[in-house]
Amino acid sequence: MILIWMICILLAGGIVSWLVARTSPLLAKWIALLAVTVDLLITCWLFSVYQAFPDNTSWYINHQANWIPALGISFHVAMDGFSHVLLLLTFFLGILAVLCSWKEIKEKTGFYFFNLLWTLAGISGVFVAMDMILFYFCWEIMLIPMYFLIILWGDARRRYAGYKFFIFTQVGSLLMLLSILALYFIHGDQTGKYTFDYFSLLHTTMVPGVAKWIMLGFLIAFAIKLPVVPFHNWLPDAHGEAPTAGSLVLAGLLLKTGAYGIIRFVLPLFPESAVDIAPIMILFGVAGIIYGALLAFSQTDLKRLIAYTSVSHMGFVLVGVFSFNNIAMQGVVMQILTHGLSTGALFVMAGMLKERLHTRDIDRMGGMWTSMSGMGGIAILFTMASAGLPALGNFIAEFFVLLGAFVNYPVFSIIATLGLILSAIYSLRMLQKVFMGQQHFTEPVKDISARELVIMAALSISIVALGLFPQPVINTVQHLSTIHPLLHE
């Protein structure tokens, strides 16, 4: 029940802040902040509760209510450690998203926060929905407010980016819907019980040929969201044009829903087919790592550059998931978390730079370290995180993924490891173009403000903490080894 309340708090917070904004935009901001903070506190509290009983069933919150009984659709939400970790990330980044919009958004504040909170609600819904249709609902609901965030508060090419974002994801969604339906009917025809419930559908036996096609439907949807390389084109545009909080949420959370979907649905629902397709998916993952890195290197638009690094990093997720190795799976979860933090931080930083310099073109920046020494230091921290420097969370993630993948797919793993070199190259280029060299701008640029410092400090502390003390996360998602027979070892 508490899960529903958490989502409702966001939904209600969104509506209230929209209504309130007409009279006082400031109050709207505070309401939005409050709503997300309350959710984060609840999730933290649940985390401590969960840590106290780690040996209980992995689904420690499970709530089901009728919705459309005629079709076997129920309002089923449940949470295990994996969902929990993702919820923590969602609300944490949610708070930061509200904070980093504080000054940036000057028009239509209420509607902005409405959209932001509803996106977060959709995302958290995705992470806890255990009914396929409910999942699909949440999956879609997070898109529309996100779309508005892009087209209303985005940059010059926001409409193009908006269309691209929406249409790309929609192709995947609809194919996934077809797959969900096919699964539903196969399961129903077999057992006579027509239901969209995740736990019931888990025990569906399918003819391999059919299972392959159904899985493909799911996989394409998640691959587009992740994104996997041939389907990644929406991402640089959407990330580039979205407002800062939009990019933060896109990179930090929306992409993660794709990873979540693959782990939660593709692997357990189609254990055999997933194994069959694994080499191809790993190939895609490796291609993504390299291709994304090469593109990231050549970009001159700071946000597009960061966006392509996301493409590269998400390749690790794919490699990790499909190498069917428990260590790699833990690495994937770490990658989900740490990429959310590090790339989110880079986007926030890009937003701050844009606010000051009114450009995203790194050729027009340079020498910012002189006037923004604080931000320079933080930038180094996060570019290094993105380059996979040990002691920062991303290293643990990439190390686990590559190590795990190496056991089963040594060649792919080695090629993926070359991505580390490329990541160093593009990270350094970014750092150099923005912060080093002679300063181009003559007017004085303010260093990081107190509010920005809070955002960046929170992110920095988390990324370092994840790098040095990853064990709580690993313990929390230890049960992921049960989702697929090959992960038991």
Partner 1 sequence: MQHYLYLIPALPLLGFLVLSMAGKRLSRNLIAGIGAGSICVSALIALITSASFLQSPPATGAYRQVLWHWFVTGHLSADVSLRMDALSLVFICIITFIGALIHIYSIAFMREDRDYARFFASMNLFVCAMLTLVMADNLVLMYLGWEGVGLCSYLLIGFWYETPANYRAANKAFVITRIGDTAMIIGLFLLFKELGTLYIPDILAKAPQQFSSGAHTITLIALLLLSGGIGKSAQLPLQTWLPDAMAGPSPVSALIHAATMVTAGVYLIARMHTLFELSPIAMQVTAIIGAVTLFIAGCSAMVQTDIKRILAYSTISQIGYMFLALGVGAWSAAIFHFFTHAFFKALLFLAAGAVIETLHHEHDIFKMGGLRKKMPVIFYTFTIGAAALAALPLVTAGFFSKDQILWYAWSANGGHPVLWALALMGAFITAFYSTRLILVVFWGEMKTTPGHLPGNAMTIPLVILAFFSVAVGWIEWPHNIMHVSLFSELVQQALPTTIMKGDLPHEIVFQFIAVVVSLLGIYTGYVLYYGQSELLMRWKQSDGLMNVRHFLYKGWKFDQLYDMLLVRPFMFITGINKSDVSDKLYTAIANANLYLNRIFSVSQNGSLRWYVTGVLIGILFIITLQLLL
Partner 2 sequence: MNELQLSALLPFIVLAMASVVVILLIAFRLSHTVIQVVGFLMMCLVVFATWYVRDTLPQEIPPLFIVDGQAAVFTGLIIFSVLVIGLFSYIYFEEREENPKEYYILLFLATLGAAILTISQHFISLFIGLELLSVSLYALIAYLRNRNNAVEAGMKYLVLAALSSAFLLFGMALIYMETGSMKFSGIAEQLKTVGSTPLFLMGLGTIIVAIGFKLALVPFHLWAADVYQGSPSPVTAFIATISKIGTFAMLLRFAQSIHLQQYPLAVTIFSVIAIASMVTGNILALQQRNLKRLLAYSSIAHFGYLLVAFLPGNDAGTEAAIFYLAAYSITLLSAFGVIILLSSRQHEAEELHTYDGLIWKRPIIATVLAISLLSLAGIPLTAGFLAKFFVLSTGVHQAVWLPLIVLVLSSVIGLYYYLRVINSLFSTTVSAEAIPKPVHPFFHISTYITLVIMAGLICWLGIFPSVTLQGIRTFLMLH
Q: Which residues bind partner 1 (CB under 8 A)?
A: 164, 229-230, 232-233, 236, 294-295, 297-299, 326-327, 330, 367, 369-370, 373, 377, 380, 384, 389-391, 395-396, 399-400, 402-403, 406-407, 410, 413-414, 417-418, 420-421, 424-425, 428-429, 432, 435-439, 468-471, 474, 478, 489
Q: For tokens 């998203």, what's the residue?
A: 97
Q: Which CB, 260 or 435, lies closer to partner 1?
A: 435
Structure tokens at 370: 């002189």
Q: Which helix (H) or strand (E) holds 314?
A: helix 302-322
Supply the DSSP symbol for 478.
G
Q: Which CB, 265 or 435, lies closer to partner 1?
A: 435
For residue 63, the minimal CB distance to partner 2 (Å) is 18
Whether 228 contacts 255, CB under 8 Å = no
For residue 186, the minimal CB distance to partner 2 (Å) is 10
Q: From start to end of 69-126, where are the E strands?
A: 73-79
For position 112 contacting partner 2 by CB under 8 A, the verdict is: no
Q: Which of the choices partner 1, partner 2, none does residue 346 contact, using the CB cut-off of 5 to 8 A by kind?
A: none
* DSSP tally for the chain: helices H, then strands E: 22, 2
Whether 32 contacts 10, CB under 8 Å = no
For position 160 contacting partner 2 by CB under 8 A, the verdict is: no
Q: Which CB, 1 or 70, lies closer to partner 2?
A: 70
Q: Which of the choices partner 1, partner 2, none does residue 70 contact, using the CB cut-off of 5 to 8 A by kind?
A: partner 2
Stretch in the footprint of partner 2 (CB under 8 A) among 130-138, 280-288, 294-302, 323-331: 130-138
Answer whether the bond into residue 227 is a cis peptide, omega within 30°: yes
For position 222 contacting partner 2 by CB under 8 A, the verdict is: no
For position 137 contacting partner 2 by CB under 8 A, the verdict is: yes
- Counting every residue written for the chain, the total comes to 489
Q: Which of the choices partner 2, partner 1, none does residue 115 contact, using the CB cut-off of 5 to 8 A by kind?
A: none
Rounded Cα distance between 211 and 216, Å, is 8
- What ranges in 358-486 are assigned the alpha helix state H? 368-371, 373-386, 393-408, 410-435, 450-468, 471-476
- How big is the CA angle at 210 (ends 205 and 214), to the nearest 5 degrees? 90
**b/e per residue 299-314 (b: at least 16 CB within 10 A):** bebbbbbbbbbbbbbb
Rounded Cα distance between 385 and 48, Å, is 27
Q: Which CB, 27 or 152, lies closer to partner 2?
A: 152
Whether 227 contacts 258, CB under 8 Å = yes
For position 136 contacting partner 2 by CB under 8 A, the verdict is: yes
Q: Which of the choices partner 1, partner 2, none does residue 470 contact, using the CB cut-off of 5 to 8 A by kind?
A: partner 1
Rounded Cα distance between 16 and 467, Å, is 38
- One of 42, 175, 428, 453 touching partner 2 (CB under 8 A): 175
Stretch in the footprint of partner 2 (CB under 8 A) among 54-62, 148-156, 245-253, 396-404: 148-156
Q: Which CB, 236 or 252, lies closer to partner 1?
A: 236
For residue 21, the minimal CB distance to partner 1 (Å) is 36
Nearest-CA neighbor of 318 among 272, 284, 294?
284
Rounded Cα distance between 306 and 310, Å, is 6
Looking only at residues 5 through 44 of this chain, which bind partner 2 when binding is defined by CB under 8 A?
A: none
List the x/- string, 181-220, binding to partner 2 by CB under 8 A: xx-xx-----------------------------------
Q: 76 in helix, strand or coil?
A: strand
For position 59 contacting partner 2 by CB under 8 A, the verdict is: no
For position 163 contacting partner 2 by CB under 8 A, the verdict is: yes
Stretch in the footprint of partner 2 (CB under 8 A) among 145-153, 285-293, 391-399, 464-472: 145-153
List the x/- string, 318-357, binding to partner 2 by CB under 8 A: ----------------------------------------
For position 60 contacting partner 2 by CB under 8 A, the verdict is: no
Q: Which of the choices partner 2, partner 1, none does residue 370 contact, using the CB cut-off of 5 to 8 A by kind?
A: partner 1
Whether 338 contacts 386, CB under 8 Å = no
Rounded Cα distance between 436 and 385, Å, is 19
For position 61 contacting partner 2 by CB under 8 A, the verdict is: no
Q: Which CB, 60 or 67, lies closer to partner 2?
A: 67
For residue 409, the minimal CB distance to partner 1 (Å) is 11
**Residue 11 phi/psi, 5° resolution?**
-60, -50
Rounded Cα distance between 103 and 246, Å, is 14
Q: Which of the choices partner 2, partner 1, none does residue 178 contact, using the CB cut-off of 5 to 8 A by kind?
A: partner 2
Q: From start to end of 216-352, where are the E strands?
A: none
Whether 350 contacts 306, CB under 8 Å = yes
Q: Which CB, 37 or 170, lies closer to partner 2?
A: 170
For position 141 contacting partner 2 by CB under 8 A, the verdict is: yes
**Read out DSSP for 178-201?**
HHHHHHHHHHHHHHS----BHHHH
What is the maximum span of the chain, computed from C-alpha positions, in angstroms? 73
Q: What are the residues binding partner 2 (CB under 8 A)?
A: 67-71, 107-108, 133, 136-137, 140-141, 144, 147-148, 151-152, 159, 162-163, 166-167, 170-171, 174-175, 177-178, 181-182, 184-185
